[in-house]
Structure 1
Amino acid sequence: MSSIKKVKLGNQGLEVPVEGLGCMGMTTLAGQDIYGTADEQESIATIHRALELGINFLDTADLYGPLLNERLVSKAISANRDKYLIATKFGYEVGDNEELTWRINGRPDYVKKAVERSLKNLKTDYIDLYYLHRVDPETPIEDTVGAMAELVQSGKVKYIGLSEVSASTLRKANLIHPITAVQTEYSLFERSVETNGLFETISELGVGFVSYSPLGRGFLTGDIKSPDDFDAKDFRRNIPRFQGENFYKNLDLVNEIKILAESKHITPSQLAIAWTLAKGTVPIPGTKRVKYLEDNVAAASIVFSEEELRHLESIVPAGKIVGDRYDQTSMSGVNL
């Protein structure tokens, strides 16, 4: 394995590479392509190449597919389970017929049901990091985390995390059982955690921060020039940030970022990932292709001067991006 730098994620003992690999795009989601069409063999090759490069921290969820993504990951890691750190998530309710209900379910009985299904799909007897994907508004967070704590005590889960939670929810959860990591969308295009108190709270509590979509759902690659660049089934067509006038206003900012990247002789993607690293987070850029994985890993060695960071953040200050990061229904599931 490569000697890519490792960092402590939270203060509970979990050590991970400075970057992880987001696996969501390697399968469809409820029949929709995620970031274009995926090829299973190329996806598995990407997971294998990640291990060679020292990126052994994989992020999946039972939602993705549903269930197909965990099964793909299990195929890829079957000969090397102990060499990978597997993070998966639950909370979007999946019925007994493997259909998504789109309800958020954090009830203790569902926690136990979901973990058994994920263990089976992943063909493993433990999950390294188990996240609550979204907070169930009808179940006290203390009840959900209490059930997750039992999974740690039984050895089925090593560490627990939360995704898209508010600072106050994190505080309540952490009183029940130490939270190792919070996963939230964070990129040059999405910086709400800097202003809503979450960053200060994770620092105070010693909780790790995992940045998903550090490339702004692909926008920050610089490859997307028009809304028509998305496939007909690509879910990004439903995101306000990528629609109409919003798209072109945000594209202007991407073009400014590209100029800065060129001046450092790096790609816009590498600049975006390196920025999330400079902010002290562990990004999990998603890709299903070896080529992009290798480009993303190279970002781990990029260093910014204070002046470069200031300049970059002046181009895209918090709140500059126009349009929500999800459609209205999905935004309602974000625990602000």
Structure 2
Amino acid sequence: MDNVLAAKTTTPFLLGGDLPVNRLGYGAMRITGPGLWGPPADRPAILALLRRVAELGITFIDTADMYGPFEGEKLIAEALHPYPAGLVIGTKGGVVTFAPGREGTLLDGTPQHLHEALHGSLRRLKLERIDLYQLHRLDPRVPAERTFAFLAEAQNKGLVRHLGLSEANVEDIKLAQQHFSVASVQNRYSLFDRAAEPVLAYCREQGIAFIPYFPIGGGQVQETDRVQQVAARHQVSVRQLALSWLLHHAPNILPIPGTTSLAHLEENMRAAAVQLTAQDMQELDALS
């Protein structure tokens, strides 16, 4: 890169109160084959990309056992183990993948499945303890209390350091908090999709990291005149503007933009250096 490592220009967030992570992370959903199925077509390129992630000063990588399935975790370990000091890897469990695409998945929040999923992730990531383990989805067929009790037990056994939720509402978080301290919540959220605003507000109040997936809109970037005007003022792309808005919008937001392009990876990281003004934020907030 032609400037300082952009990932280091943001104030670190203390994940779980004790794990400092730079506020621009990396989402590893896209590093597997099409439809989250199988290995990538160009394995050496993906391994090089993951190594570049670490070189750029990114200290938080998000993955899940369903990516591949299992391929995402294997690739991260192959590229980066032994892990650089300070690198935090978060993974997720609770979804079984049996075919490509979302239609090829089912939820399983039973303690039996989560036991197998957690130990599988530990093995593939070559870790004795996972820094952040998130429940990928609540399984409506399993009482939430039963799922949460298992996760609390796994934490008490030292298998995970911190626990989080994905696709959760405020009531889900409050119920989980009866069993363990919720370190993170990962919901869909971006400049262009703010349905999870009440969840973000509760997380901020509680000191919980809010990890927006599809932080640039999941490929559906809406280049309105207003967005383009603000981006032009700062001479940045709309992608960079969308990431910068997240970083300015709330101090507990940890965006995890994902890409398989080295150029896009470096472009995303430069977003941390974009300083938006109060006028910029007023104009962008008005999009909601």
Q: Please give the TM-score of this superposition, normalised by the length of structure 1.
A: 0.76
Alignment counterpart, residue 267 of structure 1, candidates 234, 237, 240: 237
CA RMSD of aligned residues (A): 2.4
For 1:262, the aligned partner's letter is A
Moved more, 39-48 or 102-111: 39-48
How big is the shift at 1:201? 1.9
Q: Aligned pairs, how many?
A: 277
Q: Any gaps of 5 or more consecutive residues in structure 2?
A: none
Q: Which residue of 2 aligns with 1:193?
A: 196
Q: How far apart are the structure 2 equivalents of 1:47 and 1:255? A: 35
Alignment counterpart, residue 180 of structure 1, candidates 180, 183, 187: 183
1:19 correspondence with 2:24: yes
How big is the shift at 1:206? 2.1
Q: Any gaps of 5 or more consecutive residues in structure 1?
A: 221-250, 318-336
How big is the shift at 1:39? 2.9
**Aligned residue runs from structure 1 range 29-68, under 5 A:** 30=35, 39-68=42-71
1:301 correspondence with 2:268: no
Contact 1:131 1:163 in 2 (8 A): yes
For 1:51, the aligned partner's letter is A
For 1:19, the aligned partner's letter is L
Q: Please give the TM-score of this superposition, normalised by the length of structure 2.
A: 0.88
Q: How far apart are the structure 2 equivalents of 1:137 and 1:198? A: 20
Contact 1:26 1:38 in 2 (8 A): no
After superposition, give the CA deviation of every residue in 1:59-105 in whole Å (9 maximum; x if it has no partner): 1111111111111111111232554211110111257xxxx962211
Q: How far apart are the structure 2 equivalents of 1:108 and 1:217? A: 32
Q: Which residue of 2 aligns with 1:8?
A: 13
Q: How far apart are the structure 1 equivalents of 2:258 and 2:211? A: 13
Contact 1:42 1:290 in 2 (8 A): no
1:151 correspondence with 2:154: yes
For 2:199, the aligned partner's letter is L
For 2:234, the aligned partner's letter is K
**Aligned residue runs from structure 1 range 66-145, under 5 A:** 66-80=69-83, 82-94=85-97, 102-145=105-148
How big is the shift at 1:115? 0.4
Q: How far apart are the structure 1 equivalents of 2:215 and 2:41? A: 20
How big is the shift at 1:7? 2.4
Query: Could you say what secondary structure the match of 1:283 adopts?
Result: coil
Q: Which residue of 1 aligns with 2:169?
A: 166
Q: Which runs of 4+ in 1 moved over 3 A?
A: 1-6, 9-12, 29-33, 253-256
Contact 1:4 1:53 in 2 (8 A): no
For 1:28, the aligned partner's letter is G
Query: Could you say what secondary structure the match of 2:211 adopts?
Result: strand
Query: Could you say what secondary structure the match of 1:15 adopts?
Result: strand
